Structure 1
Amino acid sequence: MAEACERFLNYCQVERQLSLHTIRAYRHDLSCFTGLTGAQQPLEAFSAAWIETAAQSWSSTPGLKVITVKRRVACIKAFVRWLFRRRLLSFNPLERICLEFKIPKRLPRNLRTEEIKQLVAWTPQASDHEGASRRSWDQLTARLVIEVLTLTGLRIGELVRIRPADMDRQLGQIRIVGKGNRERSVSFPDQVTLLRLRTYQEQVQRRFGDATLASALFFNGLGRPANEQYLRRVIRRYAESTQLTRRITPHMLRHTAATQLLEAGLDMRFVQRLLGHSSITTTELYTHVADHVLRSEIARANVRERLETSDN
């Protein structure tokens, strides 16, 4: 089993060219599976009962979410299909089991328009004085990252992988490599954010030198490429400084970008392309969030009054 798992992960990385994030998740899921079945078990002993037992064990584990169990089982299914296609298994165990998981539908959490305005109302300036410069740099970076995420709907993991070479300033586009190594282009609605990004890079150059510029789009206070943990932290602290009561996360900003575009009347297919969703079903979740706009417009139209008011 252990050897087969490594061969499967190598196949996912080399032939399917899945992202490192997906490979890490697969490795963890397979480790959980072999932890129950035994990493040294011969493949000849593989049975449908292994998958069912693992699913039951995970489902009964306190604190383990249904969506996590479903993801683990999906990984095992992909592993089994690969084993069967490579003839490492003489039969397909998936034909003998039926596993269904009902995941509670959770609507995306987005920011209201007034909350976004409150976030971007203040524009901090980078300080060159070492005493206060670290905090001011964090605030400057957070403010610009919030603007980029809210306008583009990028995932935070996609943002930290962007390099200046990925940007086409003339077209106002960024080349993104998203989930499943799928490429897409994300456009800015105008030149304002692009000019702010250019100003930010000029500050990076003055503060940390030319050598850093090509390695990332955003940097921490030490001149190193900003990672996800750093950006999550500075966004949270920046939001707290603007007196917002809710805890702000990068994914909330992604949801906000989608909701704002749908409320503005953009076709759902365009929103799907912008966010990099492989299925329109995922994008449709945002229509529920935007429904309050429809309700308010219906109320404003006041059809009842038009129908019942006398012409006299």
Structure 2
Amino acid sequence: MKWQNALKDYQLYLKIERGLSENSIENYSRDVKKLMVYLESHNIDEAPTTITTEIIQGFIYSISKSVNARSQSRIISGLRSFFSYLVFEDYMTSNPLELIESPKIGRKLPDTLSENEINDIINAIDLSKPEGERNRAILETLYGCGLRVSELINLKISDLFFNEGFIRVTGKGDKQRFVPIIDVTQKYINIYRNEIRNHLNIQAGFEDTLFLNRRGKQLTRAMIFTIIKQLAEKIGLKKNISPHTFRHSFATHLLENKADLRSIQLMLGHESITTTEIYVHLDKSHLTNVVEEFHPRRQSLKK
């Protein structure tokens, strides 16, 4: 089996069987391509099905000189998935990464913004410009609904159920969920739609797309990043923030205000509760408050 054929089959598996997005498929593919480059540069003529643990160890040693432990761990995870696929399809009998351990890394907590910082960023938007109302609606939606940037740019007008107080979000693997949307977020979306969007020359194919650029087409992920970076610079914010920071802040602030993890998990679209649990580490006082308020032994002292 040739590398290109194996990679193509693997990409198809990730798309069809696992339902991953194009971005996720590209990330997994990039890890395999790094190994392919290493093999070629070291004149190692091995097919995917004959790769040994020793070859993988040599590859990991070579990349350890240029990438940090977190990146190494991600690459190892990606390769482990690739070779697990080959084993699953009976091209191999064992995974060469089975005994390979990922480097020990600390759990990285996501950056968050305070409520005041979020207000400062939104208040810095120049509403005298046509894109100002759009940008305010974008940030209010990111923070108000905890969306991923890909979910935001793909949001449709037909996904808005304001009378019921929800929006329909299409997340990873095309899985849909309904997320509550508060009145203030609805207000700014409606202002944008009525005062800005309705006056655009909307291009064919984007009639149902909510957030559009001035040419009437869907916004890109890069554009959302740029909007946020420019606003952060405008207010002199030193934190390195991105669209995902608003999603993290959404979850953290809900937790701080005593929302339960299960509800946050459903709103964020996390498949596993363990992914949501990282927010507990941001505010350990929440756990103390839960025990103080709800443990029966604590209650007995108040009687």
TM-score range, shorter chain: 0.7 to 0.9
Give the 3 Å change call, closer, same or farther, for CA 37–205 of structure 1 in structure 2.
same
Q: Would you say 1:173 and 2:156 are equivalent positions? A: no
Q: Would you say 1:52 and 2:57 are equivalent positions? A: yes
State the shift of 1:278 in Å: 2.3
Match of 2:294 in 1: none
Aligned residues: 285
State the AA in 2 paired with 1:276: G
Please list every run of 5 or more consecutive structure 2 residues that lacks an aligned counterpart in the other structure.
291-303
Normalising by structure 2, what TM-score?
0.83
Matched residues in 2 for 1:276 and 1:210: separation? 31
Within a 5 Å distance, the mapping from 1:221-260 to structure 2 comes to 221-242=214-235, 244-260=237-253
Match of 1:102 in 2: 104
Matched residues in 1 for 2:123 and 2:98: separation? 59
Name the SS for the 1:225 alignment partner: coil
Normalising by structure 1, what TM-score?
0.80
Matched residues in 1 for 2:252 and 2:222: separation? 25
Q: Is the 8 A contact 1:201 1:213 kept in 2?
A: no
Within a 5 Å distance, the mapping from 1:106-117 to structure 2 comes to 106-117=108-119
Q: Would you say 1:152 and 2:145 are equivalent positions? A: yes
Name the SS for the 2:12 alignment partner: helix
State the AA in 2 paired with 1:194: Q
Give the alignment partner of residue 22 of structure 2, picking from 20, 23, 35. Answer: 20
Q: Is the 8 A contact 2:200 2:214 kept in 1?
A: no
State the shift of 1:295 in Å: 8.3
Bigger Cα displacement from structure 2, 173-182 vs 80-89? 173-182
Within a 5 Å distance, the mapping from 1:2-21 to structure 2 comes to 2-21=4-23
Give the alignment partner of residue 284 of structure 1, picking from 267, 271, 277. Answer: 277
Q: String of CA shifts for 1:129-163, please: whole Å, max 9, x gaps.
A: xxxxxxx2343332222111111111112211212
Q: Would you say 1:85 and 2:88 are equivalent positions? A: yes
Matched residues in 1 for 2:189 and 2:97: separation? 53
Q: Would you say 1:200 and 2:192 are equivalent positions? A: yes
Matched residues in 2 for 1:140 and 1:40: separation? 57
Matched residues in 2 for 1:183 and 1:164: separation? 15
Q: Is the 8 A contact 1:108 1:255 kept in 2?
A: yes
Rg (Cα) greater in structure: 1
State the shift of 1:220 in Å: 2.3
Name the SS for the 1:76 alignment partner: helix
Matched residues in 2 for 1:200 and 1:24: separation? 34
Name the SS for the 1:208 alignment partner: coil
State the AA in 2 paired with 1:100: S
State the shift of 1:267 in Å: 0.4
Bigger Cα displacement from structure 2, 194-203 vs 250-259? 194-203
Match of 1:262 in 2: 255
Report the identity percentage: 27
Matched residues in 2 for 1:212 and 1:3: separation? 34
Matched residues in 1 for 2:61 and 2:74: separation? 14
Give the 3 Å change call, closer, same or farther, for CA 246–22 of structure 1 in structure 2.
closer
State the shift of 1:291 in Å: 3.4
State the AA in 2 paired with 1:83: L
Give the 3 Å change call, closer, same or farther, for CA 234–182 of structure 1 in structure 2.
same
Bigger Cα displacement from structure 2, 278-287 vs 261-270? 278-287
Q: Would you say 1:41 and 2:43 are equivalent positions? A: no
Name the SS for the 2:276 alignment partner: helix
State the shift of 1:293 in Å: 7.0
Please list every run of 5 or more consecutive structure 1 residues that lacks an aligned counterpart in the other structure.
127-135, 298-312
Give the alignment partner of residue 71 of structure 1, picking from 54, 74, 87. Answer: 74
State the AA in 2 paired with 1:61: K
